């Protein structure tokens, strides 16, 4: 029976990496004035995965608190969104399904369209819940952004995962109709199968993003969406946080609104805190912005917020959500701040070693050094198979058990 109840984000949790590289260390290495990073792109530091971390361990770490709080009986679907996939056939979410002990009576799929993938996953989840309001869908957005050393994109790297539980009568955000959609065939950012690091045309990417902002808003308003001044805040995809400022300025300009600093800050000022210290998390980015907003803002209960999800190549969507009264009782603010605070600083040499590390593709037995203190780790690649481990709380590295 189809649902007449509101559907949206019932719970949200995020995880990031073991290590962090401050942009001061990057600037010291390459002789760049730190203002180019802190002001020019709006970044303070970037999360760096340990040798035994990847999109699966991050995704599982983000989703585990949701399963612990709500159980798994109603989770019939896991949708894993990523653009840094580890396999051309098997969904990364299948590993997460196993690590979290989810029921076998479930579907698991992986979605890809650059940084837009998590919004596709969210909309997919809403459709499933509308058809069967008794079920909940676990949406996971997990990515490790990687560019070549000493390239222009190096300073925007990052890694994180956001997990969202989507269901009827949500506790956090009710997602609304309509959506404004936009697609254009552009080569602003891409990663062929034979490359570990992405290719990017920085200026073309900014132009394509701003074109998508205008295109999605036009479609959204033509379909009867809210007026611009109704929104309490806006969550943008943030390849670097300064891009959110560019995008919001462009949207206000295109609508003939004031673009003063106060107006820009009112719209997005509380959405950039996590992205500024995590770096680009690709599919997770716009929902990391949502987490930052909900964790910092005064009570937003009953107020609408706008979402602009952009994925290079390009596909974009603008949609609205209303924050549910009483949402603050369900936030994970302390846990989110701890996820960022617990990262261990790494110097440039250590970061470079991690950046260049890879598993040989010869099918041999290649263990990963035990570096992460998180609940899940990539133990080895053995016989072309990725072997993951889980660790009960309080156990040391030597007490990991293989699953």
Catalytic residue from among 23, 237, 248, 336: 237
Tell me the angle at which helices 261-268 and 241-254 cross, rounded to the nearest 10 degrees. 120
> Using CA atoms, how far apart are residues 348 and 25, in angstroms rounded to an integer?
6
Q: Where do runs of H (alpha helix) occur along 227-332? A: 241-254, 261-268, 273-278, 285-296
Catalytic residue from among 83, 110, 154, 317: 83
> Using CA atoms, how far apart are residues 6 and 22, in angstroms rounded to an integer?
42
Q: How far is CA 88 from CA 123, 159, 331, 346, 382, in A?
A: 23, 20, 35, 31, 17
Phi/psi region, residue 231 (left: phi>0; alpha: psi -120 to 50; beta: rest), is: beta
> Using CA atoms, how far apart are residues 183 and 147, in angstroms rounded to an integer?
25
Burial class (CB in 10 A: 0-12, 13-18, 19+), 106: middle
> Using CA atoms, how far apart are residues 392 and 54, in angstroms rounded to an integer?
19
Least Cα distance to 142 among 110, 190, 105 occurs for 110
Q: How far is CA 126 from CA 5, 112, 133, 318, in A?
A: 11, 18, 9, 16
Residue 83: active-site member: yes
Q: How far is CA 23 from CA 132, 145, 288, 354, in A?
A: 47, 16, 20, 16
Residue 115: active-site member: yes
Residue 255: active-site member: no
> Using CA atoms, how far apart are residues 400 and 398, in angstroms rounded to an integer?
6
> Using CA atoms, how far apart are residues 343 and 19, in angstroms rounded to an integer?
5
Least Cα distance to 141 among 158, 166, 164 occurs for 164
Q: Where do runs of H (alpha helix) occur along 297-403? A: 333-341, 348-356
Strands 75-81 vs 107-111: parallel, antiparallel or unpaired: parallel
- Enumerate the active-site residues: 83, 115, 237
């Amino acid at each position: 029976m189809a649902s007449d109840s509101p559907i949206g984000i019932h719970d949200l949790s995020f995880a990031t990496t073991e290590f962090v590289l401050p942009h001061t260390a990057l600037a010291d290495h390459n002789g760049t004035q730190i203002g180019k990073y802190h002001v020019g792109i709006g970044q303070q530091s970037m999360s760096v995965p340990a040798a035994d971390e990847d999109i699966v361990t991050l995704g599982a770490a983000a989703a585990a608190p949701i399963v612990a709080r709500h159980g798994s009986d109603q989770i019939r679907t896991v949708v894993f969104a990523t653009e840094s996939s580890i396999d051309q056939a098997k969904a990364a979410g299948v590993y997460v399904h196993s690590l979290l002990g989810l029921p076998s009576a479930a579907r698991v799929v992986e979605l890809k369209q650059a940084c837009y993938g998590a919004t596709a996953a969210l909309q997919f989840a809403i459709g499933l819940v509308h058809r069967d309001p008794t079920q909940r869908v676990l949406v996971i957005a997990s990515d490790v952004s990687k560019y070549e050393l000493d390239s222009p994109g190096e300073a925007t790297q990052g890694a994180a995962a956001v997990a969202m539980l989507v269901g009827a009568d949500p506790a956090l955000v009710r997602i609304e109709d309509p959506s404004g959609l936009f697609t254009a065939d552009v080569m602003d950012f891409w990663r062929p199968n034979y490359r570990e690091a992405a290719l990017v045309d920085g200026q073309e990417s900014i132009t394509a993003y701003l074109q998508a902002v205008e295109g999605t808003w036009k479609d959204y308003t033509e379909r009867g969406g809210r007026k611009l001044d109704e929104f309490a805040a806006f969550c943008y995809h943030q390849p670097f946080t300064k891009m959110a400022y560019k995008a919001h300025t462009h949207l206000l300009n295109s609508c003939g609104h004031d673009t003063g600093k106060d107006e820009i800050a009112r719209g997005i000022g509380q959405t950039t805190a996590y992205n500024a210290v995590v770096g680009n998390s690709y599919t997770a980015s716009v929902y990391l912005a949502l987490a930052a907003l909900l964790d910092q803002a005064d009570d937003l209960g009953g107020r609408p917020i706008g979402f602009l999800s952009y994925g290079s190549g390009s596909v974009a969507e603008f949609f609205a959500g209303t924050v549910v009264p009483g949402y603050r009782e369900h936030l994970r603010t302390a846990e989110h701040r701890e996820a960022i605070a617990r990262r261990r600083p790494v110097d440039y040499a250590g970061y470079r070693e991690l950046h260049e590390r890879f598993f040989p593709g010869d099918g041999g037995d290649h263990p990963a050094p035990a570096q992460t203190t998180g609940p899940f780790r990539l133990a080895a690649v053995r016989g072309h198979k990725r072997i993951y481990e889980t660790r009960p709380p309080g156990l040391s590295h030597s007490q990991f058990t293989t699953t």
